[in-house]
Structure 1
Amino acid sequence: MVFAGACCFGILSTFVKVAYQEGYATGDISGSQACLGMCVLWLLYILTRKREGAPGPVWPVLLAGTSIGLCTHLYYLSVKWIPASVAIIFLMQFTWISMLLEWAFFRKRPTTLQLAAMLLIMAGTVMASGVADARGTLPIKGILLAMASAAVYGIYVVASGRVGNTLPALKKSALMMTGSTIIIFIIARPHFLFDGQLSMGLAKWALFLAFFGTIIPPLLFAAGIPKTGVVLGAILMTAELPVAVVTAHLVLKENMSLLQWAGVSVMLFAMVMGQKRSKE
């Protein structure tokens, strides 16, 4: 479930680039995606609701949801400045960020192999981003936005595995998307609700991005991460990387050098190494 959710996330940045080419603003893209996803998840929950025990507090789940909303908005902003195939490489830094957060706040020290995987991911990032390549010149604004989205994504991974686990998966996902929608509306102030953009073409992007980015992955993560654990869950979620790179190459015709492909390979090797250790 975690792996499938990551693959869904992997295609998003490419099609956000296409939406940019049609003239839509970041706030309207991320805001419409979050809002539509929230509405669908609440509808699914209401239609399938069964009798529940004593409900736990919902505010931690709402708060955790703001992290995925902030991550989405920052990530979509970053692909305005850097290629989608490069933005995903910086986003993948959430893997070691989530491990460090677990270590700092919950005293779960990474194993030696997991620490080695962190270093390999960092080394692979330098190679895969194009910074180490002679032709690699990336806008610092795009890099900082992508790294900020990775930091917030790391917070989401840790929080998702620790809050709201007694709630039904649909309710947890709906609450998280409510928090996501609230934070995007606050920071981005989208205009699609008032200027008729939904009827002028934004609706198709809202539907597509909401399905693959807001509805399906949170349901899969909410059900899967508590069973895999945070570390294995974070490693499995790096499947987003090859999916995003290949999609950007096929749809946007973004080319990558041999050094960049080698960097991607190093990062994927680190993922497999960390997954093996987690299983043991």
Structure 2
Amino acid sequence: MTKSIFMVFAGACSYGILSTFVKLAYHEGYSIAEIAFLQAFLGMAILYLLRLFSKKNKTIATTTPTKSVWLALTLAGAALGMTSFVYYLSVQYIPASIAIVALMQFTWIGILLDWVFFRKTPTVLQLLSIALILTGTIMASGMLSGQTTGLSVKGIVYALASAFLYGIYIVVSSKIKTDVPMLTKSSVMMMGSAVLLFTINARELLTQSHFDTGLIKWVILLALFGTVIPPLLFSNGIPNIGAGYSAILMSAELPVAVICSQLILKEHIDFYQWLGILLILFSIIWMNRKKLQLQPS
């Protein structure tokens, strides 16, 4: 149990450091097209290699997705790829600590999409949690201390768009019922992500990219911590501890991203922002408390 908890927590922390890596890569002159596409492509390659040599994967009768499942996984992967692309785009314009707060809005956007498209009415607990998340977001954004003055509207729109895309990805993924092995599922999704990112950035990648050791360094870090390590840890840890504990542990992405932006990028985080971050985390825990109570001991 302790090992599984650590796996889920470590996977969330891995996601949390991505925006700092991207910001540092920007400072060295690399573009969003290079970073996003190569992260997805390298992640896809690593996952396919792991799938090829995985003994566990071979013992599950080498399950091959049907055409409909393959298409659904590919589209889900494309949505995830666009989430990363738009999120990385946002940190070009606004601080990483603000971008991650905006991204966390996916927690209530997913509930809203379920309500609109699948008539799944939110509970009172969920509505109260959403109100707390929005309150925490206002505090965490720096609005109370005047730090939002001069922030790029474009950057904020991109960050909120990434939250919306992530909400779509989560809702779509939850509707895909499949017993396809994790490595097969992840590699197909990364293929969809890589294909879409290459398609929308083909001109820049073919004419303006500069591939060197510096770019390779950042791509390897982003692929490992954003594409390979979290899915592997989540797939092993989440089934053992359940959705309630997992949702709480995965919210660790928020404070880790903010701490990294403060320590490494030297972004200023004031007292009210930390209070807002804590309120968002509390809201996520509260929203999932029913799942936690139903969790078998």
TM-score, with structure 2 as normaliser: 0.86
Distance 1:110 1:235, change over 3 A: farther
Compute the displacement of 1:204 (Å). 0.5
Distance 1:141 1:149, change over 3 A: same
Distance 1:99 1:2, change over 3 A: farther
2:182 maps to 1:182: no
Partner of 2:62: 52
Partner of 2:17: 11
1:40 is aligned, of 35, 40, 46, to 46
Compute the displacement of 1:239 (Å). 2.0
2:187 maps to 1:205: no
2:101 maps to 1:89: yes
Residue deviations 1:234-261, cap 9 Å, x none? 5553321101000111111111121111
The answer as to whether partners of 2:247 and 2:288 remain within 8 angstroms in 1 is: no
| Stretch of structure 1 that moved more, 109-118 or 167-176 | 109-118
AA aligned opposite 2:117: F
1:166 is aligned, of 170, 175, 179, to 179
2:108 maps to 1:113: no
| Stretch of structure 1 that moved more, 139-148 or 41-50 | 41-50
CA distance in 2, matches of 1:157, 1:68: 9
AA aligned opposite 1:162: K
TM-score, with structure 1 as normaliser: 0.91
Aligned residue pairs, count: 279
The answer as to whether partners of 1:6 and 1:236 remain within 8 angstroms in 2 is: yes
CA distance in 2, matches of 1:119, 1:208: 36
Distance 1:62 1:164, change over 3 A: farther
Partner of 2:4: none
Residue deviations 1:20-73, cap 9 Å, x none? 000000110111111100011011111114123564331100000011100000
Taking the TM superposition and a 5 Å limit, the aligned residue runs for 1:116-265 are: 116-137=128-149, 138-163=151-176, 165-189=178-202, 197-221=210-234, 228=242, 236-265=249-278
Q: Percent identity?
A: 49
| Stretch of structure 1 that moved more, 188-197 or 199-208 | 188-197
The answer as to whether partners of 2:103 and 2:162 remain within 8 angstroms in 1 is: yes
CA distance in 1, matches of 2:21, 2:117: 36
AA aligned opposite 1:47: F
| Stretch of structure 1 that moved more, 42-51 or 77-86 | 42-51
Give the superposed CA RMSD.
2.3
2:30 is aligned, of 15, 24, 44, to 24
Residue deviations 1:171-206, cap 9 Å, x none? 000011011111111122375677773334110011
Distance 1:128 1:190, change over 3 A: farther
| Stretch of structure 1 that moved more, 72-81 or 40-49 | 40-49
AA aligned opposite 1:103: W
Compute the displacement of 1:82 (Å). 0.3
Residue deviations 1:144-170, cap 9 Å, x none? 000000000111122223325310000
CA distance in 2, matches of 1:109, 1:55: 32
Note the residue ranges of structure 2 that are not aligned, 5 or more in a row.
1-6
Distance 1:114 1:38, change over 3 A: same
| Stretch of structure 1 that moved more, 76-85 or 94-103 | 94-103
